[in-house]
Structure 1
Amino acid sequence: MRDIESIKYITNEDARKVDNKKASVEFIDKKEVKKVRSFHKSFLEYKVTPLHSLKELSKELGVSNIWVKDESYRFGLNAFKVLGGSYAVGKYLADKLNMDISELSFEKLRSKEIKEKLGDITFVTATDGNHGRGIAWAAKMLGQKAVVFMPKGSSEVRLNNIRKEGAEASITDLNYDDAVRLANKYAHEHNGVMVQDSAWEGYTDIPTWIMQGYATLIDEAIEQIKEEGDIPTHVFLQAGVGSFAGSIQGYLAAEFGSDRPITTIVEPNEAACIFNSVKEKDGEAHAVTGYMPTIMAGLACGEPNIVSWGILRDYADMYISCPDYATARGMRILGNPLKGDPKVISGESGAVCLGMVSLILGDSNLKEIAKKLNINKDSKILVISTEGDTDPISYKKIVWDGAYASI
């Protein structure tokens, strides 16, 4: 019997008092997103990633459409994270050169002339895998060095993929947030540049640039959907520290205003820092501490990004904390689609939103969630598969062998 009680939710309306003053989303408006897209388009590796329409699954679940944005194709790195890391590195270097990033292509940054002006730089970060691989790749492409720290329990495959990009990388015995602190200490002691999507007092510029970098994928997705003559009514977003979710939520608020899609934030039970912060109802961010043994490694983060927290608090409509079987179900559905639907290889942090959509619409015990979100036969739902099989061993255990069963 499925453990439905392990799925918890709270609506924005239930969580906080009405307050007309909301966090600013100016940092991710049309003007800024145009700069981000132009920078990413200057990469030789740039291609718009696929947007899949799951028409048969939509019929099965009783909605008009479900789209999946497939980030496993991003720059050949099997995940979206490189968008944020590369843009933040670009912005940092542009500032160092006293230039606006709109004046710099990635190819220009790679030039011998620019490298001589910049000298040697070491970029430092903490990661479960995807972000660190993106930073390592960007550093290598620019002829610079990267040092990467990974939390306890990180995949050896992800570690080796980071090392293949030329970075110095190691798995620590710390949880994610403590690995971030270790990386920050290393950067200070070795004159390095900390490139992290976590944000704290005194460290907000680079996390903001990373969030801006993520906007490329949602700008692509909305463009692709509009080309079909449509627009999503609902968007589900997974959250770790909240940088990705805050970026997409901020973009939707800036782009659509009060007509924005209804948005749901989804987190693993073991690391639900956004959900727990909202539940406190005091408007403040609250950390989850200790070891976070979820298979959703990319979401196993305990301290909310202070830049994204206000956006998620003020603009999201619902917050869900869920068990690992939700994402395992999503991985299996995407990897074994109904006849006529495309196959999508989605990893543990990539498939949780599709898994939750399938549960909300397919399990009568969760119909109250669908009702509160106003999901019906006319609903058009967008989810984002943020990674492919970045840990192939774990992927096979789940999709082939049925680990983390959802029945």
Structure 2
Amino acid sequence: MIDKLSEHVKWVSNHKHAKKASEDLIYFSREKIESVLRFQMSHKNYSSTPLIALHHLAKKWNVKTVQVKDESWRFGLNAFKVLGGIYAIGKYLAERLNKPIEELSFAELTSPEAKKKLGNITFITATDGNHGRAVAWAARELGQHSVVYMPKGASKARLDAIRNEGAHAGITDVNYDETVKLCAKLAEENGWILIQDTAWEGYEEIPLWIMQGYAAIALEIIDEIEHNDEQPPTHIFLQAGVGTFAAGIAAYFAQHYRANQPSIIVVEPDQADCFYRSFLTGNMKTVTGHLDTIMAGLACGVPNETALRILNSTAAAAFSCSDPIAALGMRILGNPLGDDRKLISGESGAVTMGLLYYLLTAHPCFAEEHLQLNKESRILLINTEGDTDKQRYRDIVWKGTHSISF
């Protein structure tokens, strides 16, 4: 089913949902993701990010619970992406040493003995900001080099943040997907290692490692929920750029709650809504052009093929949202009700909150009929980034740019 709720929101139900489980789910067993998390935890600065309950907001919406996993705290980098970068680079180095990563710690990979065997390696990636900073940080922390390129229109603040992590970085004059192609070409020409979350035929292993790195977030969430003897979420709203993050989280939840899986909702910017279009047609679709959206971290027009397979089998629907929906979410999270905790969220991190507020305020009957959002619903969101572009954050939250009326 497809419907256009307004100029700001379109949605489509996924007709392939639950017809056949993706074979890719075998890579997201508890045993595998526990080993991923153990390696991530071996870094001295690791700590689990907070899972925050917004009680007053849940009461206002007449739902059971609203929880937000706040990834703006992750490794001090203000975004979740480092979990993929650190695991993918660590896994690559472990394979170069002919050792299972399960037997290695972060300290062992950075030891003089390991460095002597590995030599100097350069990792390259394309990014809209957070992924590139994560790769640069992980490469530096593991004693290696990085090259990072950003698409046309990228924020100088995000470029500076990447350079501050030690990368050679620059902005191209093409969009994100063309920048990915450029980095792949440079990697081949220079013997560099491409660390990209976009997968295509012949380049699938490293994107899978990144996806597994992100799945550790789901493991942390489930362990905290079960430790507190709470019920699991009934609805999970997940942002999708190339889909690697959304698929990693969805895959782990699908594996863990096989008998009673939560409803997974994919959320994208309307200028880069490749999953929305793929669900709509039943085939993989790409979005071309400038991909002009404030949700820079989601401005990707080509789906990760593995992620698409996973989300085809786990996601119930996809939403395509305008920029004002993301801006709305930023203001809601930054201005909570009662003693609910304040969350600082960037444009990509807040779009799911903006969408939820829009649906439950402007279209409550739709939300209940098509998404089964009701008084028994337990909603989970993941704030994927903080104010990674501080000036844009202030323009939106202080000055009210990208406002919306309904």
TM-score by length of 2: 0.96
- Structure 1's 333 and 79: CA in aligned 2 closer, same or farther, altered over 3 A? same
- Structure 1's 60 and 152: CA in aligned 2 closer, same or farther, altered over 3 A? same
**Deviation of 1:17 (Å):** 8.7
Q: 2:381 aligns with which of 378, 383, 387?
A: 383
**Deviation of 1:18 (Å):** 7.6
Match of 2:72 in 1: 72
Where structure 1 has 5 or more consecutive residues not aligned to the other structure, the ranges are none
Match of 1:312 in 2: 311
CA contact (8 A) 2:24 2:306 kept: no
In the alignment, structure 1 residue 34 sits paired with structure 2 residue 49: no
The size of the alignment, in residue pairs, is 400
Match of 2:137 in 1: 137
Where structure 2 has 5 or more consecutive residues not aligned to the other structure, the ranges are none
**Deviation of 1:23 (Å):** 3.8
Name the CA distance, whole Å, in 2 between partners of 1:147 and 1:26.
32
CA contact (8 A) 1:23 1:314 kept: no
Which letter maps to 1:243?
T
Match of 2:279 in 1: 278
In the alignment, structure 1 residue 10 sits paired with structure 2 residue 12: yes
In the alignment, structure 1 residue 222 sits paired with structure 2 residue 225: no
CA contact (8 A) 1:360 1:370 kept: no
**Deviation of 1:31 (Å):** 1.3
Which letter maps to 2:10?
K
Match of 2:322 in 1: 323
Match of 1:176 in 2: 176
Name the CA distance, whole Å, in 1 between partners of 2:266 and 2:23.
17
Which letter maps to 2:244?
S
CA contact (8 A) 1:62 1:361 kept: no
Q: 2:366 aligns with which of 365, 368, 372?
A: 368
Aligned-residue identity in percent: 50
In the alignment, structure 1 residue 396 sits paired with structure 2 residue 398: no
- Structure 1's 322 and 46: CA in aligned 2 closer, same or farther, altered over 3 A? same
Name the CA distance, whole Å, in 2 between partners of 1:176 and 1:24.
26
Name the CA distance, whole Å, in 2 between partners of 1:20 and 1:163.
44
Name the CA distance, whole Å, in 1 between partners of 2:390 and 2:18.
45
**Deviation of 1:122 (Å):** 0.2
Instruction: Provide, for residues 240-295 of structure 1, a one-character-per-residue CA deviation record: whole Å limited to 9, x for no partner.
Output: 000000101111111111411111000000000011011112xx311111111100
CA contact (8 A) 1:79 1:130 kept: yes
250-259 vs 127-136, which deviates more? Answer: 250-259
Instruction: Provide, for residues 64-98 of structure 1, a one-character-per-residue CA deviation record: whole Å limited to 9, x for no partner.
Output: 11000000110010000000011000111111111
Which letter maps to 1:9?
W
**Deviation of 1:351 (Å):** 0.6
Name the CA distance, whole Å, in 2 between partners of 1:6 and 1:65.
26
CA contact (8 A) 2:18 2:313 kept: no
Which letter maps to 1:11?
S
In the alignment, structure 1 residue 233 sits paired with structure 2 residue 254: no
Name the CA distance, whole Å, in 1 between partners of 2:117 and 2:191.
17
Match of 2:166 in 1: 166
CA contact (8 A) 2:21 2:314 kept: no
Name the CA distance, whole Å, in 1 between partners of 2:198 and 2:326.
23
- Structure 1's 37 and 267: CA in aligned 2 closer, same or farther, altered over 3 A? same
CA contact (8 A) 1:158 1:390 kept: yes
Name the CA distance, whole Å, in 2 between partners of 1:311 and 1:17.
10
Match of 1:193 in 2: 193
**Deviation of 1:229 (Å):** 2.0
Name the CA distance, whole Å, in 2 between partners of 1:305 and 1:149.
19
In the alignment, structure 1 residue 121 sits paired with structure 2 residue 125: no
After superposition, the CA RMSD in angstroms is: 1.3
